[in-house]
Structure 1
Amino acid sequence: MSAITELSRSRRKKGAEGESRAVHTEGRHENKAAFVFLLPWLIGLVVVTIGPMIASLYLSFTSYNLLQAPKWIGLGNFETMLGDARLANSLRVTFTYVVVSVPLQLIFALFIAMVLDRGMRGLSIYRSVFYLPSLLGSSVAIAILWRQIFGTSGLVNQVLAWFGIQGPGWVSNPKTALSTIILLHVWTFGAPMLIFLAGLRQVPTMYYEAAEMDGASARQRFFKITLPLLSPIIFFNLVLQIIGSFQSFTQAFIVSGGTGGPADSTNFYTMYLYQKGFTQLQMGYASAMAWVLVLIIGAFTALNFIVSRFWVFYDD
């Protein structure tokens, strides 16, 4: 009887070991398949992202003009940046652009999202129409159109002429050139608007109903219910838009004719980096500028995360 029991145990043990080997073999096949599918992305990550970043970091410590071998100069590029007046101006222009355009865009996007959240007919059509500028806003064609609209004889000045007002050359005036690019950025509010709209749809209506029963006004409901519950969405949009705004290039390049003018009033940091690297062939200096931009964006992002604990509320 004991021999039969021992034989039964042996068979169960062998069966379990066989199943374990089968599962292990199947797992290895799945891992290989996953690796094969991930391989193109991994190659792209190394070749297109990590590799150029390492090369750029090395070049930032060199003097390199694309025609001769890089020459190691240590911190020379960064020391030169400290006394570069045009670099300081490009930082001022970029900071002004980010500080003004990002809040305006988010406020406008939230306003449109709240209008669309009222359940109007043809909502999908309105969403597509309002999102369209975001698809076209960074294109060369729209930047050229913007330059024509705000030109000396453009559409804006033609409308002003109907009221007897002679408008300036908006893109050729140092006092107004940056404002036209800020307006273009605000106009591309579609992406944050859709995110706000999705967030508004997640706010429970019972909060508004209870507030109305307590006699809360529309303004009180907005500041006491809508904004606190949307704060994670606002934070998400804020971080994305700040990062994107620091990297803005196409609009300013086309509107200013590639010069950053007039009088460097639209010479964004990225545009000045482009001028140094591809116009003046100072690729080492441009690489150093690129890494400074990475640090600036990282600092702003970290600051946003630190400050968010005081105004972002997560619904547990």
Structure 2
Amino acid sequence: MTCDAPAPHAPAPAPPPSPAGPEWRSYGGKRRTTRTLRVRVSAALLAVTVLAVLLVPPLVQLDQQAVDLAAKLRAPSWEHPFGTDDVGRDLLLRCVYGLRVSLLVGVAAALTATVVGTAVGAAAGALGGWADRCVMRVVDTVSSVPHLLLGIFVVAMFRPGVWPVVVSVALTHWLSTARIVRAEVLSLRSRPYIDAAVSGGASRWRVTVRHLLPGVLPQAALAAVLMVPHAMWHESALSFLGLGLPTHTASLGTLIQGARGSLLAGQWWPTLFPGLFIILPTLAIAGLAGAWRERINPRRRSELML
């Protein structure tokens, strides 16, 4: 009488790779290399943009408003690298001047919105209670209105110009900063050093100014940087609709708005190059802001390094 041989055991599954193992180190190294490359490309794009805005107008001794009807709608060439518009103006100079105006609007609106949002968010988080609830209900109410519609309403109350657009963008974009700052303040209020300051007799105002606001400044600064391209797009949308800057003012939105007829006629360059001048700075700022976010958020950075 023979006994059946025991069935062979199934091989045990291989243990998952350790975070300290070579596979994870290789993956983390690739992520770091990709992130470094993204930061360098973004920095190069932003540097080229800033240099173009600062150096091209003084070096190129041409009037960006000079009209030459004999050279209208010429395709890109050595004489006019970006071509000319519908009245013969050099499109490269027009794009550079338009980028200067759009950057001015974006930076001014972002700084204004950040100051307002930081003040409102810090006050709501520091006071708490019914003041916090009232402020956040106001924020929720304003957020329920589309930004573009609210911006059109604000701009319609003023004459077309740079500062009405700045006010419009700032009044519609401080809400996200207020939410971020309030959440950060509520998180900081539970820290032991805040309890120690309160136990030591520090007033609420002193705790807010000396301890809470310095803790939220990195997040507020990051929000301001990310808001610059958003404000540029908002200005371009308002100008494209004819409600932002005057048509004789060179901004990226007015350039695209004035090129609609040329695009329908088959001339692509008056629309393409102003659009690229909006997209490239946006990508550059987004890439640098993403790296900055990883530096000020250690938990997120540790997750990305795995």
TM-score range, shorter chain: 0.5 to 0.7
Same amino acid, percent of matched pairs? 14
Q: CA–CA distance in 1 between the matches of 2:205 and 2:133? A: 27
Which residue of structure 1 aligns with residue 192 of structure 2?
206
Q: Deviation string for 1:157-206 (max 9, x for gaps)?
A: xxxxxxxxxxxxxx14xxxx211111111211222211221222111243
Alignment check: 8 A CA contact 2:194 2:211 kept: yes
Alignment check: 8 A CA contact 1:77 1:284 kept: no
Select which of 279, 282, 294 maps to 2:261.
Answer: 279
Change beyond 3 A, Cα 1:293–1:220: same
Which 5+ residue runs of structure 2 have no aligned equivalent?
14-74, 85-89
Which residue of structure 2 aligns with residue 191 of structure 1?
176
Change beyond 3 A, Cα 1:257–1:301: closer
1:110-121 alignment to 2 at 5 Å? 110-117=118-125, 118-121=127-130
Alignment check: 8 A CA contact 1:232 1:313 kept: no
Alignment check: 8 A CA contact 1:77 1:285 kept: no
Alignment check: 8 A CA contact 2:247 2:254 kept: no
1:246-261 alignment to 2 at 5 Å? 246-248=232-234, 249-254=236-241, 256-257=242-243, 260-261=245-246
Q: CA–CA distance in 1 between the matches of 2:271 and 2:168? A: 27
Q: Deviation string for 1:128-173 (max 9, x for gaps)?
A: 3223334435334x344324422xxxxxxxxxxxxxxxxxxxx14x
Change beyond 3 A, Cα 1:303–1:220: farther
Q: CA–CA distance in 1 between the matches of 2:92 and 2:281? A: 17
Amino acid at match of 1:210: A
Normalised TM-score (structure 2):
0.58
Q: CA–CA distance in 1 between the matches of 2:92 and 2:111? A: 29
| Superposition RMSD in Å | 3.9
Indicate the structure (1 or 2) with the bigger Cα radius of gyration.
1
SS of 1:121 mapped into structure 2:
helix
SS of 2:129 mapped into structure 1:
coil
Residue 224 of structure 1 deviates from its aligned partner by: 4.8
Q: CA–CA distance in 2 between the matches of 1:305 and 1:193? A: 20
Amino acid at match of 2:261: T
Select which of 149, 154, 162 maps to 1:178.
Answer: 162
Q: CA–CA distance in 2 between the matches of 1:308 and 1:109? A: 19
Q: Does 1:96 align with 2:104?
A: yes
Q: CA–CA distance in 2 between the matches of 1:246 and 1:110? A: 21
Residue 234 of structure 1 deviates from its aligned partner by: 2.1
Which residue of structure 2 aligns with residue 57 of structure 1?
none
Alignment check: 8 A CA contact 1:192 1:237 kept: yes
Normalised TM-score (structure 1):
0.57
SS of 1:202 mapped into structure 2:
helix
Which residue of structure 2 aligns with residue 133 of structure 1?
142
Change beyond 3 A, Cα 1:240–1:131: farther
Q: CA–CA distance in 2 between the matches of 1:211 and 1:246? A: 42
Q: CA–CA distance in 2 between the matches of 1:115 and 1:91? A: 35
Which residue of structure 2 aligns with residue 240 of structure 1?
226
Which 5+ residue runs of structure 1 have no aligned equivalent?
21-71, 151-170
